[in-house]
Structure 1
């Protein structure tokens, strides 16, 4: 049986030709069965096996169409760009009590924390032991070619021994040239695992004795961006290294995108869900800073009605996407209207790919179809400046209900960090603003709140209650004015869900130390960690839980640990 992609391949090839020529090589995510290596050999494509069902193929656009002729290929997905979430504590999350020698005395010793981010300042004293040796077991810098890890072909891997050698020298970067030029990964790692050696007055991170496995993500075009394929490689690498050193691992991802259905159905999210079931691990993902960004719009369209959706494009934007998701049962037509008033006219749902040039902007519209993974339909619109950045102005999308049974549709623009605050909908919707992959089913999705005021951070991505079996975020953690490690030395304050997620990542490491390494709960990883974090979360009075803002409540690790002790001592623990 030959499975079909989200749209016929000739249409996909036509659409990608907006950005690639036939000779260009592009990456695709493939879900497969059988011998995918043989397929790659026949198509002159480089195949990277992620696991028994997922692979990344680097293939020419000219050969892409042939890929779908093979029975081994079940589904193909183009990679998407992701960006990190910074706009600019321990006591609030009840972590300090768990760390105290008179309480649980947990420090993360014997547990690995995986940081998938912009890198780490490995020279920062917070990531060194008392003797000056590094706490980093492995560092894979995807941006430096020369010495890739086994089973990978790009980047350079550095071991603990190599980093120790670098730290012992006066010129460490001559030995290990990896730097965190953005500072994002260093800040995230400090929250999860900083040990406070840099200053006596600075709080430690959540798991100050945990070991670190770090991946500095590759990027395309800008240091804040990476691709889904690079994160998938990073996850595979961290799992392999954690198994190599026989350590449970808690992984942090503080990157995300709006490009997708936001229901956990992409191959990217499916791969992450699949990996959470392996080894002794959990994966925590930041919910994003999109609630107040104005990048989501939703409406319920009735039969024959028309909705004019206005959105502004700001200065210096070369290209941006708009992704529309709706029920395939509903038939809707769309018209794009430029700032000068020019219109594409109604675009028929039977025109799979159409292109228009208006006001110096190439507008490409792609109508997708349901797949064997998702019953929904995507309409993807790509705006690209013909000769440089697009002219700023007010655009509109006219949506008409031609044959409506349900009527709901959602639209997303790229995240705040990609297009800024001035590119937005004039009438945005704050719900369903959690970014991908925090929408993956099996991860722990972490929103942010202001722990000083005990109030929700207005930027923190919000979920929806349309599906009670798919509640996101799972919980919230401190995200405003968080003091943590700064690349180049010292400390600084950061705000965003990027620094909320590592509070939970570090907490999961402490839970696994208590459960797995101390022998109190041999199955305390994966979804069991999530369940106890849910149950132990602090909930405000007069609010219904779970809800799309707070999830199951705010992180309260001491309450979670007390519950674990109670359940284990009462004979409820799984055996």
Structure 2
């Protein structure tokens, strides 16, 4: 294993540095649903929209909104070979590669008070009629009767399959959009999936083909097929089947065609809000990722905030994540001028990602030590170390002064089939002051690596620390004590904000099963809790619209917290809990 060429831009996003290192080692890129070969999806902070849209090296994507302070947040695709040049341009304030996002695999109506018989006096949401619920997920069974009206027509206004074959009207230039008319025509065929050219995968890894169907039914199914309606059975539905990640450039085997990325996630939300037009709209994201600063400052989180701050009656609901107890977070203190070891147990077969964040006025040197004692590094602050032969096997980057928050970050990527066992990340404090840090390991649903000394706080997914998103934990609604779901992630955010806001039923939740017209299946997780709250928000929007009222995202958050039931049942109302939030979401 040899040292490979490094980027000349030391503060460039480590994921982009990794893509460049692989390119310079001779490894060819590959085309994906949204990119050509040797392109990369990015989120950018730019001075002007015109400069981004008209740049010859940029295929512009979505306009997300105004950035904090100045400029705008946008998405796009750029050639890997032009990354450094673009990052150096004065009109481009920051450039970040996409991150992988994964499904966060949940008595919902009863526990949330969504049964019309239990509505408080004067509350009349009419089942969410007039409100759009958008689902960004994996696998939509449009043929399940819970998503049909009494006349057999679809309640789905559109489906955007980001992996579909592009057509002239493809949103953002990729994937395939299916209109309500096309869906209705397919429903009249003997094989609706074949007729439409789209359907949930019956046997996909991790059953992701069934995930989105289940999530959508909790939020807005009408019970026509299963006999049990979801929270907002009269809402209009829009579904985006999110495309695969195209930024894990550690080798062809690393890219998993069943997970999406953060750029396509933001573009999916933009699409849904555009389709909704003037109607109130809530978008559910039962998805997550661990990499990032966990303080609301990442461009992904800023994009989420920008999408809901510009207009009233816009909300994004995100599952808190299922990382409690999985060993993917640790924190600690490197004493002044001292060293500290972090144990990282790695299964070897699958690749892994490690990310550590600390204050910008401190300096940590990092060294990676393999289970057999082989040392990689040390890597000083402001430098990087790509190692490999024909492709990058190990990549270590140490960023000083991250552009979005001023903090420092250390990123470590290891490719699949590295040495199995306990790796050591050795930190050496180069300053005369103690240095506190937080570190996270990226999720891997096949074979999760973990810290040997984990810390169970701060385990929220990184997009779940957005400032304006409504974040939802999970509890077991089947037991009298309503215990928190075992794996429901723990707040607060790295900068100390109180997330999640609320919790909802997420243990053994029965909802629509894909590839059936009326069947149900059981799933658990915060993925199942989030759509219950999305459905509640649809009801709140519908009731407010009936009374001629608009709700800003801050007003909506306050209303959810005000209505939340005490949690635990005998607790003091209004008290925040790092896993339960301010209480159990309720009408």
**TM-score, with length taken from structure 1:** 0.87
Structure 2 counterpart of 1:447: 473
1:312 aligns with 2:345: yes
Structure 2 counterpart of 1:83: 102
The 1-side partners of 2:333 and 2:406 are apart by 18
Q: What runs of 5+ residues in structure 2 fail to find an aligned partner?
A: 1-7, 29-36, 66-71, 202-208, 246-254
8 A contact 2:62–2:267 mirrored in 1: no
The 1-side partners of 2:86 and 2:327 are apart by 38
Instruction: Flag the 1:331–1:227 CA change in 2: closer, same or farther, 3 A.
Output: same
Alignment of 1:138-149 (within 5 A): 138-147=158-167, 149=169
Structure 1 counterpart of 2:487: 459
Instruction: Flag the 1:149–1:188 CA change in 2: closer, same or farther, 3 A.
Output: farther
Structure 2 counterpart of 1:545: 575
Residue 69 (structure 1) shift: 4.0
1:499 aligns with 2:521: no
Specify the SS of the correspondent of 1:145. coil
Deviations 1:466-513 (A, max 9, x none): 755x21111111110001111112101100110100010000000000
Specify the SS of the correspondent of 1:70. coil
Deviations 1:105-125 (A, max 9, x none): 531111110001113100000
Specify the SS of the correspondent of 2:301. helix
8 A contact 2:344–2:424 mirrored in 1: yes
The 2-side partners of 1:10 and 1:236 are apart by 24
The 2-side partners of 1:102 and 1:414 are apart by 46
Query: Which residue, 403, 413, 416 being the options, matches 1:382?
Result: 413
The 2-side partners of 1:11 and 1:85 are apart by 25
Deviations 1:339-366 (A, max 9, x none): 112222533224x1113469x9932111
8 A contact 1:30–1:76 mirrored in 2: yes
Structure 2 counterpart of 1:229: 263
Structure 2 counterpart of 1:298: 331
Specify the SS of the correspondent of 2:575. coil
The 2-side partners of 1:162 and 1:13 are apart by 39
Residue 74 (structure 1) shift: 1.5
Alignment of 1:56-205 (within 5 A): 56-86=75-105, 89-97=108-116, 104-106=123-125, 107-147=127-167, 149=169, 152-181=172-201, 182-200=209-227, 203-205=228-230
8 A contact 2:12–2:87 mirrored in 1: yes
Structure 1 counterpart of 2:435: 407
Residue 415 (structure 1) shift: 1.7
Residue 554 (structure 1) shift: 1.4
Query: Which residue, 461, 467, 478 being the options, matches 1:435?
Result: 461
Deviations 1:63-90 (A, max 9, x none): 2222134332121111111101119x22
The 2-side partners of 1:111 and 1:375 are apart by 40
Instruction: Flag the 1:93–1:51 CA change in 2: closer, same or farther, 3 A.
Output: closer
8 A contact 2:13–2:97 mirrored in 1: no
Structure 1 counterpart of 2:394: 363
Instruction: Flag the 1:9–1:206 CA change in 2: closer, same or farther, 3 A.
Output: closer
The 1-side partners of 2:494 and 2:48 are apart by 38
RMSD (Å), alpha carbons: 2.6
The 1-side partners of 2:559 and 2:381 are apart by 46
Residue 295 (structure 1) shift: 0.5
Residue 381 (structure 1) shift: 0.7
Instruction: Flag the 1:396–1:100 CA change in 2: closer, same or farther, 3 A.
Output: same
Structure 1 counterpart of 2:46: 32
Specify the SS of the correspondent of 1:293. coil
Specify the SS of the correspondent of 1:90. helix
8 A contact 1:6–1:371 mirrored in 2: no
8 A contact 1:361–1:390 mirrored in 2: no
Q: Which is bigger in relative contact order (C-alpha 8 A, separation at least 6)?
A: 2
The 1-side partners of 2:427 and 2:296 are apart by 25
Deviations 1:239-272 (A, max 9, x none): 11000xx321111001111110111111111011
Residue 37 (structure 1) shift: 5.0
Query: Which residue, 313, 319, 322 being the options, matches 1:286?
Result: 319
Q: How many residues align?
A: 536
Instruction: Flag the 1:488–1:99 CA change in 2: closer, same or farther, 3 A.
Output: farther
8 A contact 2:21–2:386 mirrored in 1: no
1:398 aligns with 2:426: yes
The 1-side partners of 2:17 and 2:276 are apart by 42
Query: Which residue, 214, 217, 230 being the options, matches 2:242?
Result: 217
Instruction: Flag the 1:111–1:98 CA change in 2: closer, same or farther, 3 A.
Output: farther
The 1-side partners of 2:535 and 2:475 are apart by 17
Deviations 1:525-574 (A, max 9, x none): 422111111122122345782131211111122xxxxxxxxxxxxxxxxx
Residue 194 (structure 1) shift: 0.9
Q: What runs of 5+ residues in structure 1 fail to find an aligned partner?
A: 558-575
Residue 15 (structure 1) shift: 3.2
8 A contact 1:84–1:224 mirrored in 2: no
